[in-house]
């Protein structure tokens, strides 16, 4: 993202922080109700090393869950393309999984996977799985009229059609799902940490709420928000960098077999 493109967001953010600071000071809002941005930034600076360590733990859990969910979802969507009625068999269960609150499942994940990193990764993966599955399946079927027939005329195999046609058409849909999942994975990891953890952003928020350390709580929330923004920006960068073949309206065909005479 260019700096000029980020300036409107930066301006709105700075304006919102200044307004927040002014309202808290003008109305003399107690810090235990709503700390000012200056108090929150002071907490971040004072405890930056600790907050950065906890943020790194949460990000690692979120990233691992993000990768597991998206790889499994894309692989399953490919299977749905070639196995008849598999989508009808799997999709109701995927929808049921999506509609089940991750907060309700977090205690079960703790019981099943223990108190280590695994339940947080599982929570992040579960919350990321459905968007990747739906978008991938939709993308694989988003072919323009005549494209599949043209590949068949050129003697393309199923593997070639998958890699050179369907994945190409599905790329924008998959990256859209990755952008959504990038922020959801952070949320899933934090929810998993709420149930049982001794490190991570969720742990910091929970302990700070018990001790009424609201500046520290908001500082942890701010760190998680920054992590989510950076994660989203990274996915957006790869989206702009590698989804370049969809600028033109026609898919370029590069197959080993020459067209029939």
Rounded to the nearest angstrom, the gap between the alpha carbon of residue 16 and the centroid of all alpha carbons in its chain is: 25
Largest CA distance in the chain: 83
> Could you give the 3-state DSSP secondary structure of residue 63?
helix
What pLDDT was estimated at residue 237?
87
Which of left, alpha, beta for 73 (phi over 0: left; psi -120 to 50: alpha)?
Answer: alpha
> Could you give the 3-state DSSP secondary structure of residue 36?
coil
What pLDDT was estimated at residue 258?
52
Cβ-contact 159, 256 below 8 angstroms:
no
What pLDDT was estimated at residue 100?
86
| CA 24 – CA 35 distance, rounded (Å) | 8
Tens of pLDDT, residue by residue, the chain (261 residues): 556 666 788 888 899 999 999 999 989 888 888 999 999 999 999 999 999 999 999 999 999 999 999 999 999 999 998 888 898 889 988 888 888 888 888 889 989 998 889 999 999 999 999 999 999 999 888 877 777 777 888 777 778 888 888 888 888 899 999 999 998 999 999 999 998 888 999 999 999 999 889 999 999 999 999 999 999 999 988 888 876 555 444 444 444 445 544
User: Which helix or strand (DSSP H or E) is residue 220 part of?
Assistant: helix 214-242
Cβ-contact 122, 193 below 8 angstroms:
no
Nearest alpha carbon to residue 100 among 108, 89, 90: 108
What pLDDT was estimated at residue 249?
45
Work out the angle between the directed axes of helices 102-113 and 118-140 (0-180°, nearest 10). 120
What pLDDT was estimated at residue 1?
54
Question: What pTM did the predictor assign?
Answer: 0.86
């Amino acid at each position: 993202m260019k700096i000029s493109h980020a300036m409107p967001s930066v301006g709105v953010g700075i304006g919102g922080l200044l307004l927040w600071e002014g309202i808290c000071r003008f109305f003399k809002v107690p810090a235990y109700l709503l700390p000012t941005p200056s108090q929150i930034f002071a907490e971040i600076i004072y405890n930056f090393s600790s907050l950065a360590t906890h943020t790194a733990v949460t990000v690692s859990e979120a990233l691992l869950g993000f990768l597991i969910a998206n790889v499994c979802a894309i692989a399953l969507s490919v299977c749905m393309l070639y196995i008849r009625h598999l989508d009808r068999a799997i999709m109701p269960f995927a929808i049921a999984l999506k509609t089940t609150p991750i907060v309700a499942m977090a205690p079960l994940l703790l019981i099943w996977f223990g108190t280590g990193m695994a339940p947080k990764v599982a929570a992040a993966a579960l919350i990321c799985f459905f968007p990747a599955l739906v978008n991938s399946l939709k993308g694989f079927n988003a072919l323009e009229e005549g494209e599949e027939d043209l590949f068949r005329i050129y003697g393309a195999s199923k593997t070639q059609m998958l890699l050179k046609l369907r994945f190409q058409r599905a790329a924008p849909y998959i990256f859209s799902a990755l952008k959504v999942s990038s922020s959801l994975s952070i949320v899933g990891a934090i929810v998993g940490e709420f149930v049982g953890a001794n490190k991570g952003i969720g742990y910091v928020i929970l302990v700070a709420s018990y001790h009424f350390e609201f500046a520290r709580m908001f500082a942890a929330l701010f760190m998680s928000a920054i992590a989510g923004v950076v994660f989203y920006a990274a996915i957006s960068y790869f989206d702009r960098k590698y989804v370049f073949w969809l600028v033109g309206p026609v898919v370029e065909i590069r197959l080993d077999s020459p067209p029939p005479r």
